[in-house]
C-alpha cells in the first residue's frame, strides 16, 4: 500500500532542500553574493552572509518539519 501524498508535501520538501542548499553554499562560499550580484551590501564584514545562514537554517527546519507533518498526515487508502 502506498500513501496518498499531496502536492503540498513535494513543494515543502523542495523548498526545504533549496533552503538547505543555500545554507551550505553560504557556509562554504562566503562571498557568493559579491561575486554573483556584483555588489557588497555589508561592506565586506560578512554580516549579510551570516544572516542568510541563520535564516536559511530556520526556514529549512520549518519546511522540513512541515513536510514531515504532511507525510505523516497522508492517508493510506483502504484495501478494497
pLDDT at 78 over 80: no
Q: pTM of whole model > 0.95?
A: no
Please, which residues have CB within 8 angstroms of residue 43's CB and are 6 or more apart in sequence?
none
Strand-pair partners of 4: 75
Place of cell 497522508: 74
pLDDT tens, residue by residue, 8-56: 889 989 999 998 898 888 888 888 888 888 888 888 788 888 888 889 8
What is the residue extent of each domain of the chain?
A: 7-73
> Which stretches does DSSP call E strand in 1-80?
none
What local confidence, expressed as pLDDT, does residue 61 receive?
A: 92
What Å distances lie between residue 66 and 43, 45, 69, CA to CA? Answer: 36, 34, 5
Q: What is the pLDDT of residue 59?
A: 92
Task: Report yes or no: 17 and 67 within 8 Å, Cβ to Cβ.
Answer: no
Amino acid at each position: 500500500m502506498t500513501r496518498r501524498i499531496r502536492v503540498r508535501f513535494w513543494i515543502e520538501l523542495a523548498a526545504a532542500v533549496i533552503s538547505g542548499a543555500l545554507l551550505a553554499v553560504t557556509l562554504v562560499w562566503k562571498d557568493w553574493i559579491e561575486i554573483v550580484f556584483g555588489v557588497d551590501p555589508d561592506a565586506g564584514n560578512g554580516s549579510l552572509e551570516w544572516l542568510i545562514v541563520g535564516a536559511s537554517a530556520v526556514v529549512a527546519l520549518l519546511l522540513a518539519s512541515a513536510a514531515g507533518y504532511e507525510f505523516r498526515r497522508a492517508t493510506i487508502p483502504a484495501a478494497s
